[in-house]
Amino acid sequence: MFNQLLINGIIAGAIYALVASGFSLIYSVCKFVHFAHGAVIAFSSYFLYLLFSILGLNFGFSVVLSIIFASILGFLIDKIVYKELRKRKASNTILLIASVALLIFFESLILILFGADVKIIGYIKISKGIEILKAIITPLQIVIIIVSIILLILLFLFMKKTKLGKAMRAVADNKEVAEVVGISAEKIYSWSFIIGSAIAGIAGILVGLEQNLEPTMGTNLMIKGFTAAIIGGVGSVPGSILGSFLLGLVENFGIWFLPSGYKDAIAFIILFIFLLFRPQGILGIKR
Amino acid sequence: MLKIQNLKAGYNGMEILRGIDFEIKPAEIVAIIGPNGAGKSTLLKAIFNLCDIYSGKIIFKDKDITKLPTHYLIQEGICYVPQGRQVFSTLTIKENLEMGSFVLEDHELFKRNLKDIYSKFPFLKERENELAMNLSGGQQQMLAIARALICDPELLLLDEPSLGLSPKAMKEIFEKIVEINKEGISVIIVEQNAKKAVEIADRTYILENGNIVLEGGKEILKDERIKSIYFGGE
């Protein structure tokens, strides 16, 4: 039982980490809450469904196209909506409201385009799980964990080692000085959306393979990703990853004591506890 | 080297500089002093295109640089150190310097310049992998200046470099500025600490209400009227 819950927790954590890391990256650079990140995730799932399940394209090709699509969608959201609002000197609260509006807009768009019924991508036939240490895990779940960890390591190296990654951290740290040394903040904002949304695309694909697709899936994932980011320290990408795994584990171990229907309630209770007593999160710096 | 003609500038339509004429020659230190709100910082910001310019011209080495984007100004040889020990506090010291040379395409050039900076500021090399937030106030200000110097500028703009520093750190900063200047870099320095700035400067402009009311050399240190207004009546 313990091992099974541990593995379930890690699987959930891996998915949350993919949601939270992209979201946190965008938040740390642009300093506003981009809830429409959830819509990018959902759209990427549906896009894969369209390409692979409806049009019957090659699976690998569909995956790559879906990631690129998510990336472009994120870029365009920033370019068309957020950038225009920033130009008009909109506050971060206005941007947050816009992001919620975008989330609802895109979910409604999915509803109109694909309908309300649950969709299945169906690439992986329901396979029997493998037993590891008395816990059952499916091959797809192993893939999710591995892809998630590799991606997070790559993201970490990108932020630490590349010039663009360092410039993103510089803008996140002090936008005014970044401008003074010749870094264009607007360009870096665009890059944070391109990269953050590509990660969202990968998250959407993995979630779409593991679970069923429904128009509101983005909101559900975003709530978990947001909670994870708050727990870990919003604005800190490593923090959001830590928070994700913590949330996944606590949720799953929680149902040891409580009926499984309380899983989401546990997440919210943790969110409130952190917002009340440690709003800067575990790794966040109090400013 | 840099010439400003009849500059009017400010923010959001408000005019703060009301027609400034200003000049700095190669390898000079020029101080800009004056009361709060006179427009001293705005003058530096106008050179670096960080505020709105309504009219007038800024000419650097016979080239009109008015309203040019930042990365272009850095490549032309002008670097700016903003007010208040502004460093990337969550980046390491080396990363801070690397970001200072963001516009340099050539990585070899960066390495050469970095070596040069490390010889001028040995404590930066010793602590290159530490986060900038762990430095003391004076060291952060040194880092901010080093970050500007790494692009090998011909003209350095310093906005209140001594602000909020201990007397000892302040002294070190002023010594460093003189040292930098001796290598042939022109320096425009805006200062609250007027006396100290005038002492190291070749020439001084006094700004009041967006206008230059006086221009002079070190002799203004002895002027009774100026003394009582700007040097605290010492």
Domain assignments of chain B as residue spans, ordered by start: 2-230
ipTM: 0.91
- In Å, how far are A200, A219, A233, A271, B177 from A228, measured between CA atoms? 15, 14, 8, 8, 47
pLDDT at residue B117 is higher than 70: yes
| Contact yes or no for B82 and A176 at CB 8 A | yes
Question: d(Cα B83, Cα B60) in Å, to the nearest integer?
Answer: 23
* The pLDDT value given to residue A244: 94
Strands (E) located in B142-193: 155-159, 186-190
The string of pLDDT tens digits covering residues B40-87 is 999 999 999 999 999 999 999 999 999 899 999 999 999 999 999 999
| Contact yes or no for B74 and A182 at CB 8 A | yes
| Contact yes or no for A174 and B88 at CB 8 A | yes
**Selection from A225, A180, A190, A166 nearest residue A39 by Cα:** A225
- Give the domain B2-230 fold: Rossmann fold (3.40.50)
| Contact yes or no for A167 and B48 at CB 8 A | no
Structure tokens at A16: 């949350």
* The pLDDT value given to residue A227: 93
The string of pLDDT tens digits covering residues B3-34 is 999 999 999 989 999 999 999 999 999 999 98
* The pLDDT value given to residue B208: 92
Closest-CA residue of A relative to B132 is A173
Q: How confident is the model at residue A35 (pLDDT cuts 50, 70, 90)?
A: very high
Mean pLDDT value of segment A133-155: 90
* The pLDDT value given to residue A286: 59
In degrees and rounded to multiples of 5, residue B9 shows phi and psi of -150, 165
Q: How confident is the model at residue A122 (pLDDT cuts 50, 70, 90)?
A: confident
User: Which residues 92-111 on chain B approach chain A with CB closer than 8 angstroms?
Assistant: 95, 98-100, 102-103
- As its CATH architecture, domain A2-277 has Orthogonal Bundle (1.10)
* The pLDDT value given to residue A287: 53
* The pLDDT value given to residue B125: 95
The CA distance from A84 to the nearest CA of chain B, in Å, is 18
Structure tokens at B93: 């010291």
- In Å, how far are A90, A187, B12, B51 from A85, measured between CA atoms? 5, 16, 17, 20
HEC per residue, A2-56:
HHHHHHHHHHHHHHHHHHHHHHHHHHHHHCCCCCCHHHHHHHHHHHHHHHHHHCC
Percentages helix, strand, coil for chain B (3-state, rounded to 5) are 40, 30, 35
The CA distance from A164 to the nearest CA of chain B, in Å, is 10
pLDDT at residue B143 is higher than 60: yes
Look over chain A and give the mean of its residue pLDDT values, rounded to a whole number.
Answer: 91
